[in-house]
Amino acid sequence: MGEARTPRMRAGGPSEAMAGGGGAAAESRVGQVVLPGDVLLLPAHAEQDPERLPLGTSAAPRGRLLCGPGLRRCAGGLLVTKCGLLRHRQAGGGAAAGGAYWVDSQQKRYVPVKGDHVIGIVTGKVGDVFRLDVGGSEQASLSYLAFEGATKRNRPNVQVGDLIYGQFLVANKDMEPEMVCIDSSGRASGMGIIGQDGFLFKVSLGLIRKLLAPKCEIIQELSQLYPFELVLGMNGRIWVKAKTVQQTLIIVNILEACEYMTAEQRKQALAKLSGN
């Protein structure tokens, strides 16, 4: 007689998980830790059957929803692809279903995202396209026409080793990243070739997001210490230039230490420097 075998259960996909009650409302998970494979239901779909397509005027979206890093759209909701804290930003018009969701995680390797402003290092030139190191798995391309006022006759003076501040126009897993140094209206808006002087260093991606916050106390406190120029890239690179080399190195050391210092410790360190 053969041994009795227990039949194996096959795990379903995101649609089956939501149908079985595995999904949770996205609003209730904001600020909590989410894991890869978790399904987050959107407000418009929290009380609907994800297998049915709602019809009628009442099914129209109430706002534009942006899906940020760490999330991927699935049937009726969002699928978590990265471990971290779930964050949400309300839409500008106050739409209940609008805004943006993303996963805030401490990752070391940068993954290019469309629209991110980064600092790239020119590594070579192939024809009319520059190759840039942006810290990702592959290099990004930058056309010589992607500068403000650039034409076939008026080409930008870009050399190997120059620092370029731009944004990603194309960034997905199936194509190589493509950068531009102009916005949608053709203006530079601060993008382009960064000056030769200054100091370039790398920090964690979490610290970059903290420094880019609208009301960042770190930048405000440093601006009271010394006048300086600062360029922040979402790929973890920072370019700093102050009046002297000593002041530049002081600002670099403070920015590197801010990730591991409390607000009180940072204020004490700045008070000692200002006293000197």
Q: What DSSP line would sit under the chain, residue for residue?
A: -PPP-PPPPPPP-HHHHHHTT--EETGGGTTSEE-TT-EEE-GGGTTS-TTS---SGGGS-SS-EEE-TTEEEETTEEEE-S-EEEEEE--TT--TT-EEEEEE---SS----TT-EEEEEEEEEETTEEEEE-SSSS-EEEETTSSTT--SSS-----TT-EEEEEEEEEETTEEEEEESS-TTS--TT-EEPPSSSEEEE--HHHHHHHTSTT-HHHHHHHHH--EEEEE-TTSEEEEEESSHHHHHHHHHHHHHGGG--HHHHHHHHHHHHH-
> In order along the chain (276 residues), what is the average pLDDT of each group of 10 residues?
46 45 78 90 56 44 72 84 86 61 82 91 92 92 92 90 94 90 90 91 90 86 90 95 93 90 87 77
Q: Which of 145, 141, 194, 138 is nearest to 170 (CA)?
A: 141
79-91 per-position pLDDT tens digit: 998 888 898 888 7
Helical pair 263-275 and 245-257, crossing angle rounded to 10 deg: 160
Looking at residue 82, its pLDDT comes to 87
In order of 140, 149, 181, 191, 247, the CA distances from 187 in angstroms are 21, 9, 8, 9, 32
Looking at residue 56, its pLDDT comes to 42
Domains of the chain and any CATH numbers: 14-104 (2.40.50.100), 117-193 (2.40.50.140), 199-275 (3.30.1370.10)
166-219 per-position pLDDT tens digit: 999 998 878 899 999 999 888 998 999 998 889 999 998 888 988 988 788 899
Do 91 and 98 touch, CB atoms closer than 8 A? yes
Q: Which of 58, 59, 74, 93 is nearest to 26 (CA)?
A: 74
CB count in 10 Å sphere of residue 255: 20
Q: Which amino acid is at 136?
A: G
In order of 37, 138, 165, 190, the CA distances from 70 in angstroms are 11, 20, 24, 28
